[in-house]
Amino acid sequence: MELAPIVDAGWVLAHRDEVVLADVRWYLDGRSGRDAFTAAHVPGATFVDLEHDLSTPGDPTDGRHPLPSPEALATALGRLGISDRDVVIAYDDSGGGTAGRLVWMLRVLGQPAALLDGGLQAWPEPPETGGGTSRPPTTVPPRPWPADRFASHEEIASAAEDPDAVVLDARSSPRFAGDDASVDRRAGHIPGAGNAPWAGNLDPETGRFRAATALRQRYADLGVEEDTEVICYCGSGVSACADLLALERAGVGRTRLYVPSWSGWSADPARPAAQGRE
């Protein structure tokens, strides 16, 4: 199935029997995503745990949410009953800041997946409570991560100095500037990066993603054209995926994720940190 990176609730309702709904709520402030899911979720959804299903432990320089190995991801998806043939629609309650991680991961593996535009708040039916849908376990073959969709420490440092490439930090402006270091190991950002807070992809009145033309203009203002090489990062390689999906919607194709993001970069004291909003 050819699937856009972001779909609305009407599309999901029309294809309800053809998709798997995945709730990927996780909170930076420590609240429980699973508790939020139990209290209210889209009927028929399955909870996907960002920490345990979509991440793996690693060295501090790997960041807070390193990618799982192909084998670990295959095991997690199989346990959840999500096969490599399923069409996955993921959502959260932030507009895509966490669910985008699952969507982007599956899309780079060639599996159809999309964000539910507007998330839980945009679902037109009454929410369901309880443990959610339990899907029968399945066997998922490990699929190698495509190396050309990821950037290493050295590659993002080089790209940040390359006038033909653009590095974008998806964190909020205060965290980017170094004014708010409450979450991060060190204040600031990768020298040479621009700031594209992921929430800026959303219309503040509706909580839904802006149209492709508006997103295209947003990223053009940051130096991104259709064929520009773009590397995105955030605090730990999660919310940057929302920028990557927005870039895809805008028609930008040469994009990569720096998974360690600022948490991994800043864990090495030898790596520089820039401050300020420019």
Q: Which residues are catalytic?
A: 234
- In single-letter form, the type of residue at position 49 comes to D
Judged on CB neighbours under 10 Å (0-12, 13-18, 19+), 94 is buried
For residues 4 and 236, what is the distance between their CA atoms, to the nearest angstrom? Answer: 25
Helices of type H across 81-146 = 99-108
For residues 248 and 197, what is the distance between their CA atoms, to the nearest angstrom? Answer: 16
30 Rama sector, left if φ>0, alpha if ψ -120 to 50, beta otherwise: left
Rg of the chain over all Cα atoms, to the nearest angstrom: 18
Give the pair of three-digit tokens for residue 238: 């999660």
For residues 49 and 79, what is the distance between their CA atoms, to the nearest angstrom? Answer: 12
User: What's the CA angle centered on 22, arms 17 and 28, to 5 degrees?
Assistant: 165
- Could you give phi then psi for residue 79, rounded to 5 degrees? -65, -35
Taking each helix axis from N to C end, the angle separating 240-250 and 212-220, rounded to the nearest 10 degrees, works out to 110
